[in-house]
Amino acid sequence: MKKTICTLLMLTGLIISMSAQESDEEMITTTVSYYLDGGTNNDFETLKKAFHPSATMKFIRGGNYTEVNALEFFKKAIKPGPKQNRATKVEHISVSGNAASARLRIDYSNFYFIDYMNLLKIDGSWKIVNKIFHRQNK
């Protein structure tokens, strides 16, 4: 009887832990979807929901390391207009406590981006705090 109760308690703890993990993964998917959907629809206000105000974006352009504030970059880059012709996918999410990473793919007709997002759970919400990416011709 004592062994059965211990086993049930351990299983309950495992299920609760898995549910919390799934919940965080769902919340992260929502956050990165703000980024993907905002970019696809040329909607800066939606994209902005994904990022912490001080989030950085780091990349190589013309062989040179570049670092910018992500929201300042996107505010200049995103202009209202027709929906972009691209496909997006959340390829992988990894969560460790209040830190997470997500790998995203954005496909255009002749090239694609692989985005690596670092996220933190801040005041109960997941926010992108850093983005690095690679652009690859098809």
pLDDT at 7: 47
What residues have CB less than 8 Å from 44, skipping those under 6 apart?
38, 74, 75, 78
Question: What is the Cα–Cα distance from 75 to 45, expressed in whole angstroms?
Answer: 9
The number of distinct structural domains making up the chain is: 1
pLDDT at 11: 44
Place of tokens 């902005």: 48
Q: pTM here?
A: 0.83
Structure confidence by residue, pLDDT tens digits, 46-91? 999 999 999 999 999 999 999 999 999 999 999 989 999 999 999 9
Distances (CA, A) of 128 to 8, 51, 83, 93, 134: 37, 5, 23, 13, 17
Report residue 9's pLDDT band, with 50, 70 and 90 as the boundaries: very low
Q: Which of 66, 78, 37, 71 is nearest to 135 (CA)?
A: 66
The domain that holds 128 is classified in CATH as 3.10.450.50
Q: Which domain holds residue 106?
A: 2-137
Q: Which of 135, 123, 104, 84 is nearest to 29 (CA)?
A: 104
Q: How many CB atoms lie within 10 A of CB 47?
A: 23
Structure confidence by residue, pLDDT tens digits, 93-116? 999 999 999 999 999 999 999 999
133 sits in the region (left: phi over 0; alpha: psi -120 to 50; else beta) called beta
